[in-house]
Amino acid sequence: MKYKEKQLHLPEGTFKNELLFFEEKDRKVLKQYFKDWVKQCEDTVNLIGGTRTPNLSESFSEAVFSLEMDMPRCVNSISGASSSFDLYDLKRNKRIQLKGASSYAPSSFGPRSEYDELYFFFFRNIADEKKKDPKKRKYSGEFEIYKLNTSDIYNQSVNKKETLKDQQAKDRRPRFSIPKKIIDPKSIKPIKTGDINLW
């Protein structure tokens, strides 16, 4: 991976900022990171009797997405502009927000998140395995990437009376399960799939 300074064309103006670029050789590192996480999950259950396993880090999902979609990560705040987005598409000058999950648990949205496009990075097979006895779970490296319609997100009900947008207006952090509430009910297909174990 390499850090490079690039110009970002944002609604607030044009800014220079350091971005993190992942390279093909980083796939080996990310594959090992994933294997180490799987071992930690298995050890948590088998060695110390845990029932809840550690989550995969956001940085990992963002790194894999960055490689697959050819978009660098934003790692530094930008003085004078909103920098709540995760990645930046230099070809189209788009701010990218990424939500990642290896379960069907709710994703959280900040009250002032600003972005142009929203994507969801999902380890569906791992999420399905969480319904099983922890000692019998398998950890597939298969992943799915979805591009989501922002209107589906903002208009999503988070309780009987309020949408996500309503709660954000009250300076709250609304939460809901993206697969359960949007992807599966709307039969949205992934725009890309892959398997880290095949890297």
C-alpha to C-alpha distance for 16 and 83, rounded to whole angstroms: 12
Closest CA to 43 of 30, 53, 33, 34: 53
Beta-strand ranges (E) seen in the chain are 2-10, 13-21, 73-74, 87-89, 94-101, 107-108, 117-122, 142-148, 175-176, 192-195
Give residue 153's pLDDT: 84
Triad 181, 185, 190: Cα angle to 5°: 95
Total domains present in the chain:
1
C-alpha to C-alpha distance for 10 and 18, rounded to whole angstroms: 14
| Backbone torsion region of residue 92, taken as left when φ is above 0, otherwise alpha when ψ lies between -120 and 50, otherwise beta | alpha
**Which of 8-12, 59-63, 190-194 is predicted least confidently?**
8-12
Instruction: Tell me what the mean pLDDT of segment 47-60 comes to.
Output: 87
**Which of 41-45, 86-90, 141-145, 153-157 is predicted least confidently?**
153-157
DSSP 8-state code for residue 137: -
C-alpha to C-alpha distance for 46 and 119, rounded to whole angstroms: 34
- Go through the chain and tell me how many residues it has: 199
For residue range 12-29, list pLDDT tens digits in order.
989 999 999 999 999 999
Give residue 146's pLDDT: 98
Q: What is the pLDDT confidence band of residue 167, given thresholds at 50, 70 and 90?
A: confident
**Residues of the domain holding 137:** 2-198
- The mean pLDDT of the chain is 91
Give residue 101's pLDDT: 94
Higher pLDDT, 23 or 112: 23
Q: What is the pLDDT confidence band of residue 139, given thresholds at 50, 70 and 90?
A: very high
Q: What is the pLDDT confidence band of residue 110, given thresholds at 50, 70 and 90?
A: confident
C-alpha to C-alpha distance for 117 and 69, rounded to whole angstroms: 13
Q: What is the pTM of this model?
A: 0.91
Give residue 165's pLDDT: 82
